[in-house]
Structure 1
Amino acid sequence: MDQSIIDKQPYGRFHRKLFVLSSGGPFLDGYILSIIAVAMVGASDELRLTSFDEGLVGAAALVGVLVGGLVFGPVTDRVGRQLMYTIDLIALIVASALALVVTDAWQLIAVRFLAGIAIGADHPIATALLAEWLPSHRRGRTMGALVGTWFIGASVSYGVGYVFSVFAGPDAWRWVLASAAVPGIVFLLARIGTPESPRWLLRHNRRDDAREALKTAFGRYPSEEELNQLAETEPPQSARMRDLFTGGYLGRTLFAGGFWACQVAPAFAIWTFYPVVLGAYGFEQGDTALLWSLIVSLVTLAGCYPCLRWVDTLGRRPVLIWTFVAVAASMTVLGLFPGMAMGLAIVMFVVNALALGGGNTLQYIYPTELFPTHIRGTAMGVASSISRIGAAAGTYLLPIGLDHLGLGPTMLAGGAIALAGCLISVAWAPETKGLALHETAAVGPRPVAKATSGVR
């Protein structure tokens, strides 16, 4: 089939703007989920948190992401991407500001949970909207780069936390948590006026609205032939969550949620308690630990960039498998030799961070490619929710594991989870590079992409 009007478009100003706007969700995700590590010391002292309470505080936002994805993934498939694109940020801003009035542990847990719901809602909304506007030859690297903004958000949070800790002290932890409202407001205002996905509009028999959306994005109305060609790939169809668990989509749902969970379960546990974990290997505590956390976060971000090209040249499948291998190997070494010299520990943390960054680029690529438009938001929401089950469990169990099992066994457990993700990927990961979105989402044998489609 000939390329649609969307696939024929060069990657231009509209796509770059939409990428920046869509990056608000992952940026705030990384910021909010990482900033708790900065605020935990002050909150723990003032609210007298136990290790049990700290585990709940660390996991609350992740559980909220789970709920938000399950609830709002189907909603965005029913009411549209553009409307929910702004509403979820309003909820996130309010939840962040509520941190200023927290006076008890349960209130902090509740505020983190509400912020997580807003984040979970943005996963299916922003990723579905961006994927449905991208031409096939730039979809892999652009969706992968969206994950990279998570690490930018995390890095910024550590930098903000360091500034607060130096100039305001640990008593400023409420303002540290509330600071997420500032970028939230910026992204909210910038997102106003974003056009709806024409793919979604055609699925809902809104042909004239699809024509207007294409005019807003590309500066001209599509011809009838171009609109008909796009409409052929997006026949009207209602969204049903049960479609994710029937026929050929059940395996895809399990794969998308499974590999994602195996990536984030050990990663989020370490990211949430980086100052504690690094301190266990001999790194300095206090403000210096925040700088180490910032450095590791930047290294993780650096790991994303070579993989952004490799997913379109080498392919999605090998990038996913080999990054899992590197994560499992580095965590196994950290677990087998917890008393290692600091220099070797640094090397292992660098390998771990680079591999995590590279592998995480697939988190927004596979779930958006493997499902059709009418259930793409639902699929993304379900996959992110499955992943957060693992992330919440890992985050909750890490401080308990350090207290009761020790450093070595806790790191070995993380390596075992990464190995499980590698096995899942070997068994189920498909190759989708260079294919049009309706081709990657089709159940059955996939066409082979042209050799040049992944390197334009």
Structure 2
Amino acid sequence: MSATTQDQGAQPEAVRSLIPARLDRLPWTRFHWMVVVGLGVSWILDGLEVQLVADVGSIITEPESGLGIPAAQVGLLPSVYLVGQVVGALVFGRMTDRLGRRRLFILTLTIYLVGSGLAGLSWDLWSFMAFRFIAGMGIGGEYTAINSAIDELIPAHYRGRVDIAVNGTYWGGALIGSLGALVLLNPDLVPIFWGWRLCFFLGPVLGLVIIYVRRHIPESPRWQLTHGYADEAERTITGIEETVEHQGGKLPPVDESKAIEVVGEKSIPIARVARIMFREYPRRAVLGATMMITQSFLYNAIFFSYALVLKFHFDVPSESVPLYFIPFAFGNLLGPLLLGHLFDVWGRRKMILLTYGISAVVLALAAVLFSAGALTAVTQTVLWCVCFFFASAGASSAYLTVSEIFPLELRGQAIAFFFCIAQLSGAVAAGVYASLVGDGSERGPLTAGYFLGAGLMLIGGLVAWFIGINAERQSLEDITDPVTSTKRRGAVRAEGAHPSAR
């Protein structure tokens, strides 16, 4: 690493560095598994939290629970958690770009641990909602800090499959929540007053283990370099290389042609962040928004009307609904795990079109059969499992896309912005589809809703195909120059000017 001469003291020093190339050429070792396990647990915790609230919703209406919340007000709980996520993403997304990935992924996990644990000690509706809001803030902040750190620490060769697999583990958390609830919410095993409270300690127990692991995960040297901490970045990357080499990973030579030159900036003004995202990269903004909105609409439309459809259209007893949820969750979990590597091998655009497109076709087929009355609860669930095997990988690729196509210095804020758009889209879908279910006497409105969801997913896939980025196996700095790159000084690069852009 070398530095250019300072411009008469008027400008910060420009630094030439091979840090991105040094990170991307590393072989896979236990260090990378530590990063994946230590940071990837965020999605598991979110899936756990959402599922637990769904499971305890009816329990906390009972006087024996110690809360006795009116049934009409239970619906407020998911909304409060959602608002907390949106606030947390926006607040901590800005902070992770300004203060660093490591500080924030420790802070946001701590906030979640406190919020979720306190929810188990709630004494009335208002205390419960306040604690759920805090837990939501922690998880919302987690998404921004975690996805940023993973992308910047994982070698380019593996980035797609790792991101997609990690994002898909949301459904592993949902499974943990379901299985835990089967025991803790069984009044024959645990008294009602304590059962639902113990459920909210499942996440904090897991989180306490993970926070220990996170203490050993370094700051992103990419973040340090672009924020004026070049010496710290050099020490961090040297430490990572020594760890990888000690673990048996032979280090290949560094490609000297991959050097970048940056002038570190401690913070990028919010107005400049908006200008870069929407004026320099409008096509990428459209790509990110389209992918996030379409996948979130589909997921929330199906997931939050799942139990109602089984109950009113297939006469499945309420107590049997979780049995149908388990294969659905497994399908969602297996999709990203089995298909993720293809996003690195076959490419982003091909796989996004494939996963979005197949899920759209299967959902449309399910809509036709549902309308004709040709399905049972079992066959309907089988079709949903097939649909979301592909949709889950596609949804995970949406998060991957928005986290890798914008400059490093505003990555956290980009993730936060598109995450919030997705959450709001999902909230609308959940309300609309719950009303389309009806009392089971008519299937026309819900059939039309299924066709709408299928159409939106197809649109998302086509948009990715036509304006998507061939980001597979490319360094983040090859996908888009850092804001602090000297290439940007004196001129704003036009959208699509980068060799890898379309």
Provide the residue aligned with 2:496 in structure 1.
Answer: 444
Corresponding residue number in structure 1 for 2:452:
416
> 2: CA distance between counterparts of 1:273 and 1:215?
51
* Residue of structure 1 in register with 2:26 after alignment: 9
State the secondary structure of the residue aligned to 1:181: helix
For residues 402 and 177 of structure 1, the distance between their equivalents in structure 2, rounded to whole angstroms, comes to 30
Distance 1:306 1:416 in 2: 28
Aligned with residue 66 of structure 1, among 73, 86, 92: 86
Distance (whole Å) between structure 2 residues aligned to residue 93 and residue 99 of structure 1:
10
Deviation, structure 1 residue 181:
1.7
Aligned counterparts of 2:437 and 2:425: Cα–Cα separation in 1: 18
Q: Is 1:183 the equivalent of 2:206?
A: yes
- Alignment of 1:261 with 2:293, yes or no, is yes
1:356 equivalent in structure 2: 391
CA RMSD of aligned residues (A): 3.1
Closer, same or farther: CA 187–285 of 1 in aligned 2, 3 Å? farther
For the structure 1 residues 318 and 230, does the alpha-carbon distance in structure 2 shift closer, same or farther, using more than 3 Å as the test?
closer
For 1:318, give the aligned amino acid: K
> Does residue 285 of structure 1 match 2:317?
yes
> In structure 2, the residue corresponding to 1:31 is in which secondary structure?
helix
Determine if contact 1:96/1:179 at 8 Å carries over to the other structure: no
**In 2, Cα distance between equivalents of 1:417 and 1:356:** 11
Shift in Å, 1:325: 2.6
Of 402, 423, 441, the match for 2:437: 402
Match of 1:194 in 2: 217
1:341 equivalenced with 2:363 (yes/no): no
Of stretches 367-376 and 274-283 in structure 1, the one that deviates more from structure 2 is 274-283
Q: Is the CA contact 1:36–1:272 (under 8 Å) kept in the aligned structure 2?
A: no
CA contact (8 A) 1:147 1:363 kept: no
Give the residue type in structure 2 aligned to 1:392. Answer: A
Within-5 A mapping of 1:356-375: 356-375=391-410
* Larger fraction in helix: 1
| Alignment partners' CA distance in 1, 2:88 and 2:218 | 23
Q: Against the structure 1 CA distance between its residues 86 and 272, is the aligned structure 2 distance closer, same or farther, given a 3 Å change threshold?
A: farther
**Hey, what's the Cα distance between the residues in 2 that align with 1:402 and 1:221?**
54
Paired residue type of 1:109: M
Residue type at the aligned position of 1:197: S
Larger radius of gyration: 2
Q: 1:56 aligns with which of 76, 83, 88?
A: 76
Output the CA distance in 2 between the equivalents of 1:407 and 1:38: 27
* Contact in 1 for aligned 2:331/2:386 (Cα 8 Å): no
- Who is 1:452 aligned against? none
* TM-score normalised per structure 1: 0.88
Alignment of 1:19-34 (within 5 A): 19-34=36-51
In the alignment of these two chains, the number of paired residues is 447
Return the offset for 1:230: 7.1
In structure 2, C-alpha distance between the alignment counterparts of 1:212 and 1:10, rounded to whole Å: 19
Structure 2, unmatched stretches of 5+, are: 1-16, 246-252, 482-494
Name 1:38's counterpart in structure 2: 55
SS at match of 2:77: helix
From 229, 240, 264, the counterpart of 1:236: 264
**Greater CA drift, 314-323 or 135-144:** 314-323
Matched residues in 2 for 1:221 and 1:284: separation? 53
- The residue identity in structure 1 corresponding to 2:278 is T
Which residue of 1 is the match for residue 3 of structure 2? none
Measured in 2, the distance between the counterparts of 1:76 and 1:353 equals 32
Report how far residue 302 of structure 1 moved. 1.2
Q: Does 1:326 align with 2:362?
A: no
How much does 1:295 deviate?
A: 2.0
Distance 1:303 1:284 in 2: 26
The offset of 1:418, in angstroms, is 4.3
Whether the 8 Å CA contact 1:162–1:290 is kept in 2: the answer is no
Structure 2: distance between partners of 1:7 and 1:65: 32
Provide, for residues 167-198 of structure 1, a one-character-per-residue CA deviation record: whole Å limited to 9, x for no partner: 33765323323432211222222211321111
1:140/1:433 contact within 8 Å kept: yes
Q: Quick one: which amino acid aligns to residue 101 of structure 1?
A: L
Match of 2:103 among 66, 78, 83: 83
**204-213 vs 419-428, which deviates more?**
419-428
More relative contact order, 1 or 2 (CA 8 Å, 6+ apart)? 1
In structure 2, give the amino acid aligned to 1:90: T
Q: 1:391 to 1:279 in 2, by over 3 A?
A: same
Alpha carbons 1:329, 1:415 under 8 Å: kept: no
After TM superposition, the structure 1 stretch with the greater mean CA deviation from structure 2, 290-299 or 54-63, is 54-63
Which range is displaced more, 98-107 or 352-361? 98-107
Query: 1:359 and 1:39, CA in 2 relative to 1: closer, same or farther beyond 3 A?
Result: same
Q: Where does the alignment leave 5 or more consecutive residues of structure 1 unmatched?
A: 450-456
Residue 211 of structure 1 is aligned with which of 216, 234, 238?
Answer: 234
Most deviating of 167-176 and 201-210: 167-176
2:488 counterpart residue number:
none
CA gap 1:398/1:91 in 2 versus in 1, 3 angstroms: farther
Distance 1:227 1:124, change over 3 A: farther
Q: 1:431 corresponds to which residue?
A: 470
- Pairing 1:377–2:412 present: yes
Q: Does 1:99 align with 2:127?
A: no
Task: Return 282-291 or 90-99, whichever deviates more.
Answer: 282-291
- The CA distance in 2 between the partners of 1:48 and 1:263, in whole Å, is 33
| 1:55 to 1:408, Cα distance in 2 relative to 1, 3 A | farther
User: 1:386 Cα shift?
Assistant: 1.1
The answer to whether the 8 A contact 1:31-1:156 is kept is yes
Distance 2:334 2:312 in 1: 25
- 1:60-96 deviation per Cα after TM superposition (whole angstroms, max 9, x unaligned): 3222222211111111000001111111111111111
Deviation at 1:206, TM superposition (A): 0.6
Q: Structure 1 283/116 Cα, relative in aligned 2: closer, same or farther at 3 Å?
A: farther
8 A Cα contact 1:332 1:412, kept in partner: no
